[in-house]
Structure 1
Amino acid sequence: MPAPGELHTIDGLRMHLQRSGPAPADALQPTLVIEAGGGCASPIYARIQQVLSAKYPVVSYDRPGMGWSDIDGAPFDAQRNAHRLHALLAAAGVTGPIVLIGHSLGGLLMRVYTGLYPEQVVGLVMLDASHPDQFEEIGEMPTAQVAMERDKRVKFQEGGPPPPELAMAGAIFADMPHVVQQLTATFTPESIDTMAREIEGLPHVARQAAAVVDLGARPLAVLWAPVQLPAGSDSATAIQKRWPSFQQAHAALSSHGRSHEVAGADHMSLVLLPPFVNRVAEEVDRMMAQLGSAR
Structure 2
Amino acid sequence: MLRTYKTAVVAALCSTVVGTAVAGCAGDSLDNWDPLAPTTQKADAGPISGTKKVDVAGRSVNVSCSGDPAKGRPVIMLMHGGGDGLDKMAALQKTLGKKNRVCSYDRLGAGASDQPDGPQDFAVTGKILTGVLDRVAGDNPVVLAGHSLGGLIAARYVPDHQDRVKGLVLMDTTSPTMVDDITKAIPESAKGPAAEVRAQNLAIFQGQNPEKLVITDGKVRSAGNIPVEVIQHGKQYLAAIPTYGQRLEQAWSAGQRKWLAVSSGSKLSTATDSGHYIYVDQPDVAVQAIERVTSQVAGE
CA-based RMSD: 2.7
Distance in 1 between the 2:134 and 2:61 partners? 12
Instruction: Say if 1:31 and 1:94, in contact at 8 Å, map to a contact too.
Output: no
1:162-201 matches, cutoff 5 A: 194-195=209-210, 197-198=212-213, 201=214
Seen in structure 2, the aligned counterparts of structure 1 residues 195 and 237 have a Cα distance that, compared at 3 Å, is farther
Give the aligned residue type for 2:290: V
C-alpha deviation, 1:82, in angstroms: 1.0
1:68-107 matches, cutoff 5 A: 68-92=112-136, 94-107=138-151
Distance in 1 between the 2:201 and 2:265 partners? 39
1:46-61 matches, cutoff 5 A: 46-61=90-105
Partner of 1:223: 231
Give the aligned residue type for 1:21: G
TM-score for the superposition, normalised by structure 2? 0.71
Partner of 2:288: 282
Instruction: Say if 1:66 and 1:194, in contact at 8 Å, map to a contact too.
Output: no
C-alpha deviation, 1:243, in angstroms: 2.4
Partner of 2:241: 232
Seen in structure 2, the aligned counterparts of structure 1 residues 194 and 13 have a Cα distance that, compared at 3 Å, is farther
Count of residue correspondences: 236
Partner of 2:7: none
Partner of 2:59: 13
Distance in 2 between the 1:196 and 1:240 partners? 26
Q: Secondary structure at the match of 1:195?
A: coil
Instruction: Say if 1:124 and 1:220, in contact at 8 Å, map to a contact too.
Output: yes
Give the aligned residue type for 2:288: E
Partner of 2:107: 63
Q: Secondary structure at the match of 1:266?
A: coil
Higher helix share: 1
Comparing 83-92 with 63-72, greater Cα deviation is found at: 83-92
Distance in 2 between the 1:37 and 1:246 partners? 16
Seen in structure 2, the aligned counterparts of structure 1 residues 34 and 196 have a Cα distance that, compared at 3 Å, is closer
Q: Secondary structure at the match of 1:257?
A: strand
1:19-34 matches, cutoff 5 A: 19-25=65-71, 28-34=72-78
Partner of 1:153: none
Which of 266, 271, 275 is 1:262 aligned to? Answer: 271
Partner of 1:179: none
Seen in structure 2, the aligned counterparts of structure 1 residues 143 and 292 have a Cα distance that, compared at 3 Å, is closer
Cα deviation code 1:18-62 (max 9, x no counterpart):
00011232xx42100011111111111111111111111001000
Distance in 2 between the 1:93 and 1:134 partners? 31
C-alpha deviation, 1:222, in angstroms: 0.8
Instruction: Say if 2:75 and 2:137, in contact at 8 Å, map to a contact too.
Output: no
C-alpha deviation, 1:93, in angstroms: 5.1
Give the aligned residue type for 1:288: T
Distance in 1 between the 2:137 and 2:167 partners? 19
Corresponding position: 1:246 with 2:255: yes
TM-score for the superposition, normalised by structure 1? 0.72
Give the aligned residue type for 1:197: K
Instruction: Say if 1:222 and 1:257, in contact at 8 Å, map to a contact too.
Output: yes
Q: Secondary structure at the match of 1:216?
A: coil
Distance in 2 between the 1:142 and 1:101 partners? 24
Partner of 1:120: 164
Give the aligned residue type for 1:71: Q
Give the aligned residue type for 1:58: V
> What percent identity do the matched residue pairs reach?
24
Q: Secondary structure at the match of 1:19?
A: strand
Distance in 2 between the 1:281 and 1:67 partners? 23
C-alpha deviation, 1:235, in angstroms: 6.0
Cα deviation code 1:93-127 (max 9, x no counterpart):
54311000010111210122112212101000000
